[in-house]
Structure 1
Amino acid sequence: MGRWEPDAAGRLRAAALELFTAVGYEETTVAAIADRAGVTSRTFFRYFADKPEVLFAGSEGLEVAMAAALAAAPEDASPRAALDAALDEAAALLVERSDFARRRHAVILRNPALLERETMKMARLTESLAAGLRDRGVTDPVATMMAHAGVAAFRVAFSAWVDEPAIDLRHTMADNLGALARYIGSSNP
Structure 2
Amino acid sequence: MRWTPDARGRLERAAFELFTEQGYQATTVPQITARAGLTTRTFFRYFADKREVVFAGDEIPVLARDAIEAAPAGLDPLDIVVHGLRRVADERFEGRHDEVGAVRRVVLAESSLRERDARKRADLTDAVREGFVDRGVDPTEAAVVAETAVMLFHLALEAWLTGPQGRRMADVVDEQLSVLRTLLDRHRAGS
TM-score normalised over the length of structure 2: 0.88
Give ranges in structure 2 of 5+ residues lacking alignment: none
Matched residues, number: 187
Aligned to 2:176: 176
Aligned to 2:116: 117
Percent of pairs with identical residues: 39
Matched AA of 1:101: V
Matched AA of 1:167: R
Q: Kindly indicate whether residue 17 of structure 2 is the aligned counterpart of residue 15 of structure 1.
A: no
Contact 1:149 1:177 in 2 (8 A): no
Aligned to 1:107: 106
CA 1:139–1:100 in structure 2 vs 1: closer, same or farther (change >3 Å)? same
Aligned to 2:159: 160
Question: For each residue in 1:29-61, what CA deviation from the matched residue of structure 2 results, as whole angstroms up to 9, or x when unmatched?
Answer: 111101000012222122211111111124x22
Give ranges in structure 1 of 5+ residues lacking alignment: none
In terms of mean alpha carbon deviation, does 150-159 or 96-105 score higher? 96-105
Question: For each residue in 1:61-109, what CA deviation from the matched residue of structure 2 results, as whole angstroms up to 9, or x when unmatched?
Answer: 2222232222222212111111112212321212254433221111101
Contact 2:126 2:146 in 1 (8 A): yes
Root-mean-square deviation (Å): 2.0
Matched AA of 2:75: A
Contact 1:122 1:151 in 2 (8 A): yes
**Which gives a bigger RCO, structure 1 or 2 (Cα 8 Å, sep 6+)?**
2
**Secondary structure, aligned partner of 1:52:** helix
Q: CA deviation at 1:160?
A: 1.0
Q: For 1:1-189, what aligned pairs fall within 5 Å after superposition?
A: 4-58=3-57, 60-92=58-90, 93-95=92-94, 97-164=96-163, 165-185=165-185, 186-188=188-190
TM-score normalised over the length of structure 1: 0.89
**Secondary structure, aligned partner of 1:141:** helix
Contact 1:69 1:89 in 2 (8 A): no
**Secondary structure, aligned partner of 1:39:** coil
Moved over 4 A (4+): none
